[in-house]
Amino acid sequence: MNITYYKLAVDGNLRVLNNLSHLLNRAADYCTERKIEERVILDARLFPDMFPLVRQVQLVSDMTKSCAGRLTGKEPPRFEDKEASFAELQTRIADTVAYLKTFKDSDFSDSADREIRLPWKPDHPMRGEVFLLQHALPNIYFHIATAYNILRHNGVAIGKADFVGKVSD
């Protein structure tokens, strides 16, 4: 298997988004079965100074969009961060998936050496390789893992297989 920027920034992140969607479906079912208001789980956090579940999901969406967008020089769409239900988060994930599916492998031809400037660090540009491997992917996995942990901490019956998803050849 030849690892490409496309496979990491698009295929890999589509997998993350699909697994996150699955986790949210499990959480929505949990709320329905136990008659828990969705907002209770959406506002849950692991520690008072950490973002709640809803923000973790928004950040996975934002990070996956910006990962592909920045590596290809394309401006990702902006979402308003106003989701207040599992259904609205699922719509956001679907919109993010649709955006990622607009990319082709050839869009990433110069990604390794592309200069990436983050808005909060304009004076510290980084090469695409550094951005992808040391910024984007670690942040994406941090926020999906935190979302998973919030759900697990709040009693949603999920496990490692739900986080990892089905492994294919």
What's residue 169's pLDDT? 66
- Mean of the pLDDT values across residues 154-161? 96
Write down the mean pLDDT value for the chain: 95
Q: Which tokens belong to 102?
A: 């607009």
Say what the pTM is. 0.95
pLDDT in tens, 52-106: 999 999 999 999 999 999 999 999 999 999 999 999 999 999 999 999 999 999 9
Residue 69 burial by Cβ neighbours in a 10 Å radius (0-12, 13-18, 19+): middle
- Mean of the pLDDT values across residues 132-136? 96
Please, are residues 67 and 116 in contact by the beta-carbon 8 Å criterion? Answer: no
Alpha-carbon distance of 23 to 144, in angstroms, equals: 10
Give residue limits of the domains in the chain. Answer: 5-164
The fold of 5-164 is Four Helix Bundle (Hemerythrin (Met), subunit A) (1.20.120)
